[in-house]
Amino acid sequence: MKSDIVYPLNIGPVHPAFKEPIKFTFRIEGEQVAGVDIDFGYTHRGIEKIALERNYIQIIYLLERVCGICSFSHPLAYCLAIEDVAEIQVPDRARYIRTIIGELERLHSHLLWTGIAAHEIGFDTLFMYTWNIREKVLDCLEEFTGNRINYGMLTIGGVRRDITPENSETITRMLEYYMELYDRASEILLDDLTLRARTEGIGILSREQAEMFCAVGPTARGSGLLKDVRIDYPVNAYYDIPWLNPISPRDIGKEPIGDVYDRMAVRVLEIKQSLNVIQFCMENLPEGDINSGEGAVKIINKLKKLEGEGIGRYEAPRGEVCHYVILDNQEHPIQLKVKAPTYSNGFTWIPMLTNIEIADIPIVIASIDPCVACADRMTFIRKDGAKERYSWDYLHQKSIQKYKRSANQ
């Protein structure tokens, strides 16, 4: 019953396909999508603003909760930024531990994503399966950091907890478990008949488009854009890993066309890559301190007297996160900017979502692994019935004013 009626279909902000509130308005023709409009802002919590009223240690835990899935990447980028300003030297062991947690996080995030993607296309068994094997890395993280999610491991100048021999044994066991599982799991993920039928050839983002929309992370790599902050601007232990290369679907012998399948393939391959990185780090884990040796109070006091700006970049599971701070002899930073991966990747939805079927919407949306929590930059709230909407010009002017102000201060 194809009909040529065009009507808008609202998906979200509350919809079972998205675990996060975001609103899409599609123009639908029959079962085809003719256009899309995206409305962000439902989870805007004003973190950047709150941060300006907190001290430097509190901010870590705040930024951990930008998003619970890459709850390591955001604080890491922040710590890197602060360490950049304060020129704090991070001990080698801490760098390695940071790498290990970061990769564990990537592992869990990619497994989580595969599950969610399977759920979006109704493949609940695969969902259950990936989330079931994901429990292993969560167990490992829990033992290692004290919580399954929101690890609270970072501090400025290092990490808060060491890897005990017991922990390293767990990690080794986890690695064995996954190494053994990987071949079969990747076969299920990459070769399953119905899964391929649902992911191949839809949501195409060409290399040019990926470049144009500044796609980052697996989204960019799925389109064949070899872009990976870990390699381009290495931090942590990534300096020391010579064999680290950006993943692309070419690694399984497929020319990248930038469809959902390619992005999935990139993630599945990155699972393996993460495992190798963790193994490398465990093998080469240097001895020594795990932080700069200064307690929280000391750090706060030290930063109070500093002035300057710093930037931290890190490759979160979803792509590049970038934090920018300005310090100005105060107990709080005077400026904190978060640039989250979904913020860049969100725009790639526009080419991806046109000319697909309704049934493809969830999987295509999920394919960039969106995390609107971190992408919600601004919200329009109509308090007191004020129906005003700001124009681009007005906002542009405002932001210029604001930056001038903070530069003058």
Partner 1 sequence: MIMILAIALIMTIVGLILGLLLKGIDRKIAAYFQSRIGPPLLQPVYDIIKLMYKQTIIPVTAVRWLFSSAPVIALASSALLLLYITIPYIFYIFEINTTLQGDLIVVLYCILIPSIAMVTGAFSSGSPYAAIGAQREMVILMSIELPIAVVIISVAWHAADSMADPFAISSLFEYPLWHNAGAFGVLGGILLFFAMVLVLPAEMSRVPFDQAEAETELAEGISVEYSGKLLAFILLTDAFKALALSMLVVILFFPYTLSQLFGISFQMYGHTLTPFVEIVFLLFKIIVIYSFGITFIRVVMARLKISQVARFFLFAITAISIIGLILIMLDPNMRII
Partner 2 sequence: MVYYYRCYNVIDNNRGTYVKKINYKHLKRSLWAYHMNTGSCNACDIEILATLMPRYDAERFGIKLVGSPRHADVLLVTGTVTEKIKDKILQVYQQVPKPKLVMIIGSCGATKGVFHESYAMAGPLDTLLPVDVYVPGCPPRPEAIIYGVAKAWEKLEEL
Partner 3 sequence: MLGMVYKVIEQIFSKKSTNCFPMKYIPNNTTQYLNQGIIHPPIVVKEGFRGRLEYDFQSCTGCGLCSKVCPANAIELYSAEINSKKTKRVVIYLTRCTFCKECVDICPRNSITITKSFCMADYKKYGNSLVVGSEYRQQFEIKDHADVE
Q: Which residue has the tokens 């860049």?
A: 344
Q: Confirm or reject binding of residue 394 to partner 1 (CB under 8 A).
A: no
CB 120, min distance to partner 1, A: 5
Q: Looking at 30, 32, 42, 44, which residue binds ligand SF4 (CB under 6 A)?
A: 44
CB 58, min distance to partner 2, A: 9
CA distance 409 to 403: 10
Q: Looking at 4, 49, 125, 255, which residue binds partner 1 (CB under 8 A)?
A: 125
- Judged on CB neighbours under 10 Å (0-12, 13-18, 19+), 144 is buried
Q: Confirm or reject binding of residue 67 to partner 2 (CB under 8 A).
A: yes
Q: Looking at 357, 395, 396, 403, which residue binds partner 1 (CB under 8 A)?
A: 357
Give the distance, in angstroms, between the CA of residue 290 and the centroid of all CA atoms in the same chain.
25
Stretch that binds partner 1, among 14-22, 89-97, 162-170, 383-391 (CB under 8 A): 14-22
CA distance 275 to 269: 10
Q: Which residue has the tokens 């470049």?
A: 211
- For the residues of 88-154, what is the DSSP string, one character each? PPPPHHHHHHHHHHHHHHHHHHHHHHHHHHHHHTT-HHHHHHHHHHHHHHHHHHHHHHSSSSS---E
Q: Which is nearer to partner 1, 124 or 166 (CB)?
A: 124
CA distance 350 to 345: 10
CA distance 264 to 245: 17
Give the distance, in angstroms, between the CA of residue 220 and the centroid of all CA atoms in the same chain.
13
Q: Confirm or reject binding of residue 358 to partner 2 (CB under 8 A).
A: no
Q: Which is nearer to partner 2, 87 or 388 (CB)?
A: 388
CB 109, min distance to ligand SF4, A: 7
CB 345, min distance to partner 3, A: 28
Q: Looking at 34, 37, 68, 194, which residue binds partner 2 (CB under 8 A)?
A: 68
Q: Confirm or reject binding of residue 165 to partner 3 (CB under 8 A).
A: no
CA distance 94 to 97: 5
- For the residues of 361-396, what is the DSSP string, one character each? HHHHHHHT---HHHH-------GGG------HHHHH
Binding mask 74-113 for partner 2 (x = CB under 8 A): --------------------------------------x-
Q: Confirm or reject binding of residue 71 to partner 2 (CB under 8 A).
A: yes
Q: What residue ranges bind partner 2 (CB under 8 A)?
A: 5-8, 10, 13-14, 16, 19-21, 41-47, 49-50, 53-54, 61-62, 65-69, 71, 112, 128, 131-132, 135, 138, 148-150, 371, 373, 379-381, 383
Residues that bind partner 1 in the complex, under the rule CB under 8 A: 1, 7, 9-10, 15-17, 31, 118-126, 128-129, 132, 192-195, 197-198, 357-362
